[in-house]
Amino acid sequence: MKTIKVDLKKKVKKNICMAMAAIVLSTAMLGAGYYLGLNARGETTIVAAGNDIRLPFEVVKRTITKYDIESKLAEIRELSTFSSEYTVSRDEEEARCITKYFAIPGAKNYISMDCKGIVKVGYDFDDITVTVDDEREEIIITLPDPKVNDNYVIWDSIDYAEKNSILNPIDFEQYKIMLGEIKEDGLKQAEEKGVYKSAEKNMKALINDSLDEITDYDVVYA
């Protein structure tokens, strides 16, 4: 009968090595599965650099700062204005009078003007307040009231008629006053159409789009 010698020490050492290899393999597979699961849910993982070693399944959440948000908002500064077009018709008659109630015959002039104009409403970015609440995971934005940035008549759209008088010739100041009144009427039209609400809606849409990549925080307007 043949006798087989077994080196028990080597056998135990071999079994321990195999067990350790199995544990390492299982841990790596578990870490990879956890990593893929997190990314499937849209969570962000950050790979550590240098000597800052982290476990494969460890998630590092980015901290959002006020400066980050303000930098993003600065990119949409030029797009923050909302425009509203208006159409105004106006005519005026001016007469020279001897007294308050008596006009000089033949001393009347007449101006009629139809035109289009544009009102631009926007925001002063220096008055926008940004607050970051890490605990609630919220970006809180406080918008000031929108203001009129510009109001002008489109010169190519002007259709006018005038009737002059030798006794009361039309003065350039009359046109200047009429244009000012047309702009006032145009602004009222824009306000009645809800230009300020439209500007606010437009502004919020721009902000939401610019912060869309920050998925961990909700944008809230105060």
For residue range 167-180, what is the model confidence (pLDDT) as tens digits? 778 888 888 999 99
Question: For residue 2, is pLDDT > 90?
Answer: no
- pLDDT value of position 56: 59
Q: What is the mean pLDDT of residues 55-70?
A: 73
Average pLDDT over residues 68-80: 86
φ, ψ dihedrals at 167, nearest 5°: -80, -15
Find the mean pLDDT for residues 40-67: 56
Q: What is the domain partition of the chain in residue ranges?
A: 1-61, 66-221
Q: Which residues contact 69 (CB under 8 A, 6 or more apart)?
A: 130, 132, 139, 141, 211
Distances (CA, A) of 214 to 50, 72, 128, 206: 26, 11, 19, 14
Residue corresponding to tokens 């009629």 = 112
What residue type is 21 in one-letter code? A
Is the pLDDT at 211 greater than 90? The verdict is yes
Higher per-residue pLDDT: 53 or 6 = 53
Residue type, 79: L
Per-residue pLDDT, averaged over 67-78, amounts to: 87
Instruction: Give the pLDDT confidence of 84-132 residue by residue, as tens digits.
Output: 999 999 998 876 666 666 666 666 888 899 999 999 999 998 899 999 9
Residue 70 · residue 130 · CB < 8 Å: yes
pLDDT reported for residue 41 = 43
Which of the 8 DSSP states describes residue 129?
E
Cβ atoms of residues 187 and 107 within 8 Å: no
Residue 148 has pLDDT above 90, yes or no: yes
First to last CA, the chain: 92
Query: 42 pLDDT band (50/70/90 cuts)?
Result: very low
Q: What is the DSSP letter of 77?
A: G
pLDDT at 209: 94
Average pLDDT over residues 64-91: 89
With residues binned 3-state (H G I as helix, E B as strand, rest as coil), the percentages for the chain, rounded to 5, are 40, 30, 30
Q: Among 118-132, 147-161, 167-181, 206-220, which is the least confidently predicted range?
A: 167-181
pLDDT at 166: 77
| pLDDT (average), residues 18-23 | 60
